[in-house]
Amino acid sequence: MSWARKVLRVNLTAGTCTEEPLNMDWAEQYLGQRGLATKYLSTEIDPKVDPLSPDNKLIFATGPLTGTAAATGGRWSVITKGALTGAIACSNSGGFFGAELKFAGWDMVIFEGKSAKPVYLMIQDDKATLMDASKYWGRTVWETEKGLKADHQDPQIRVASIGLAGERGVKFAGIVNDLHRAAGRSGVGTVMGSKNLKAVAVRGTKGVTVNDQAAFDIATDAGKAVLAENGVTGEGLPALGTQVLMNVINETGALPTRNHQDIQFESASDISGEAMHEIRRSDGKANLTRNAACFSCTIGCGRISTIDPTHYTVKDREQYQIASGGLEYEAAWALGAATGVKDIDALTFANFICNEQGFDPISFGATLGAAMELYEMGVLTTKETGGLELTWGNEVALTTLVELTGRNEGFGAEIGLGSKLLCEKYGHPELSMSVKGQEFPAYDGRGIQGMGLTYATSNRGACHLRSYTVASEVLGIPEKTDPLSSDGKAGLVIAFQDATGAVDSAGLCVFTTFAWSMDDIAPQIDAACEGDWTVERLLQVGERIWNLERKFNLDAGFTGKDDTLPKRLLKDAAKTGPAKGKVSELGKMLPEYYSLRGWTEDGVPTNETLDRLIL
């Protein structure tokens, strides 16, 4: 129950769509979504494969709670070998697409090979058909979704597609569904574009059945009550979205600014969640129009915004003056503090372009920040940038380059390489604030020590959502730890990593864990799925997933030497705030982390660990 027990295998080279049964032995070990799809991927491809080769595979996956009444039970993931990193990639998205895929009766869709021409996949319950996408190739995500709904005369179709960024090889292109929800990181959209796959459209009418409906209703109702009563999930996130964090993290002294040269942004309040509510526009309206929720979500942290009609108006761009996906914390930071830009309309415009053309605002903003530092050093000049002055805080540079990057044109094609390749190209690899080729999110590892270890050990490259120790170190959830101390952080990071692996594989949003512990989650999974799903079993599932991902990366050529941070965080002390004088104490935390993981001193899982986890 709860699993649809079906996999759709799409051979793009042959143009075939084939149904096969879900491997339930693997489902018992990996639950679903992130874990189960990673098992399929690691079994079916050579980890050393070129990410853009037809031999790489791309998997759309749901979890057993996707499409159910569990709060936030609408998540889905894209799993592949990432184009940005060359590492295992699992990019999670919300919206309504994942639930619709589950309603159509599919646990996952596996894409293999490469189509000779642009195609999209149309799924209508059991029927799956590859269709000509030539007229959509070269068009934006927004145009594609609107067009497919019109073509099939069904406004209830859900669409996940790529924009020009994915078609043209921007290394950090994502896959956008429901106009502004995205599997955004690691270049999963770049892989999709390399296969000439423009979109997946789905209409499902079957629904989802759980194993024990009465027990499930009790467990999910209890979970929703906990979310409603919690200060973060019941108040902060609905009111301010993830942007509730902007001023908080800035005051903590962990807001990376101007390519991590500073850890506090003097204009943080201008780009914060509070600022989105303020009446600053010429027409007497605020940046924020309303909040929004994904499928089955009782939190509603999404933002819907509009841009001042007198600001950044462009001919034939009326869609930027109507409500669309607004700024979330990571995007606001990357487009703002990382580049020094403080104009909230400029940030909102840039975020719209990222949605419209389908690419990651975190990697884009962080890479632009690195380019700005190269410009300040004189390494880059207007000759290389096409006449643009990449000075800190230059909103014209931001809004111009976001469009060029979306089209992979001009200096935007250089930004589209990502910061690692860009900085290597211009002789300063140390200026790339990344791990395994993926740019840092919006937390500095000097001001929040656990996040430094989180970034260094993340299997997908630098990522906050694999181990959000900010919850403990800043917000005191589930218990308060000192963000400036490295003591005990190895165990804390591991606990978050394993729990998150289970949450990601269930089909739930990780934001629920601001309020829920595994004691709240396990009863919901246990009631939905056959078998006995205890807290202990789920945590072992998370640990098994983490080690499987690690094994994939080791087989792909990564080593323990890749579990590191840029010298800036290890050598250059924070200049201001509570963390003044601090560097990341990664060297102290990493050996303890390896030991607790059951890995060798070189970061390789021991045979004993692999045997215990059935790997």
Return d(Cα 615, Cα 613) in angstroms, integer: 5
* pLDDT in the model for residue 310: 75
Report pLDDT for 279: 87
Amino acid residing at 296: S
pLDDT of residue 1 exceeding 60: yes
Domain 6-203 identical in fold to domain 257-432: no
Q: What percentage of the chain exceeds 90 in pLDDT?
A: 95
The pLDDT-based confidence of 319 (bands split at 50, 70, 90) is low
* 266, HSE (Cβ side, Cα atoms, 13 Å): 4
- Nearest residue to 433 (alpha-carbon basis) of 484, 474, 372: 372
Secondary structure of 504-536 in the HEC alphabet? HHHCCCHHHHHCCCHHHHHHHHHHHCCCCCCHH
The proportion of the chain whose per-residue pLDDT surpasses 70, expressed as a percent, equals 98
Q: Under a CB-based contact definition with an 8 Å cutoff, are residues 81 and 549 in contact?
A: no
Q: Which two tokens stand for residue 284?
A: 């007497």
- pLDDT at position 257 is 98
> pLDDT of 533-558, one tens digit each?
999 999 999 999 999 999 999 999 99
Q: Which fold has domain 257-432?
A: 1.10.569
Distance in angstroms (rounded) separating the CA atoms of residues 506 and 518: 12
Check whether 474 has a pLDDT greater than 50. yes
Mean pLDDT calculated for residue range 20-44: 98
pLDDT at 68: 98
Tokens linked to 591:
């050996």
* Mean predicted confidence (pLDDT) in 266-295: 92
Among 202, 18, 176, 23, residue whose Cα is nearest residue 110: 18
Predicted pLDDT at 307: 83
Phi, psi (rounded to 5 degrees) for 157: -60, 140
* pLDDT score, position 312: 64
Q: Is 593 helix (H, G, I), strand (E, B) or coil?
A: helix
Place of tokens 């009418």: 205
pLDDT of residue 323: 61
> For tokens 């900085």, what's the residue?
423
**54 touches 488 (CB < 8 A):** no
Q: What's the residue count for the chain?
A: 615
pLDDT digits (tens, 9 = 90+) for 69-97: 999 999 999 999 999 999 999 999 999 99
Classify domain 6-203 by CATH number: 3.60.9.10
pLDDT tens per residue, range 506-528: 999 999 999 999 999 999 999 99
- DSSP 8-state assignment for residue 483: T
pLDDT digits (tens, 9 = 90+) for 321-376: 556 789 999 999 999 999 999 999 999 999 999 999 999 999 999 999 999 999 99
Query: What does the pLDDT read at residue 443?
Result: 98
Phi-psi region of 589 (alpha: psi -120 to 50; beta: other; left: phi over 0): alpha
Examine the pLDDT at 309 and tell me if it is beyond 90. Answer: no
CB 59 within 8 A of CB 80: yes
CATH 3.40.50.720 fits 442-612, yes or no: no
Confidence of residue 317 (pLDDT cuts 50, 70, 90): low
Q: What is the mean pLDDT of the chain?
A: 96
- State yes or no: pLDDT of 315 exceeds 60: no
Across the range 277-285, mean pLDDT stands at 86
Contacts 24+ apart (CB under 8 A), 238-242: 238/291, 238/299, 238/300, 238/301, 239/273, 239/291, 240/273, 240/274, 240/276, 240/277, 241/273, 241/291, 241/301, 241/302, 241/303, 241/326, 241/328, 241/329, 242/273, 242/301, 242/328, 242/329, 242/330
The sheet carrying 302-305 orders its strands as 288-292, 302-305, 324-325
Query: What is the pLDDT at residue 306?
Result: 85
Which residue has tokens 């595979």? 57
Q: What is the pLDDT of residue 318?
A: 60
Residue 218's pLDDT is what? 98
Phi, psi (deg, nearest 5) at residue 523: -60, -30
Domain assignments of the chain as residue spans, ordered by start: 6-203, 257-432, 442-612
pLDDT over 70 (residue 320): no
236 touches 181 (CB < 8 A): no
Q: Tens digits of per-residue pLDDT, 138-171?
A: 999 999 999 999 999 999 999 999 999 999 999 9
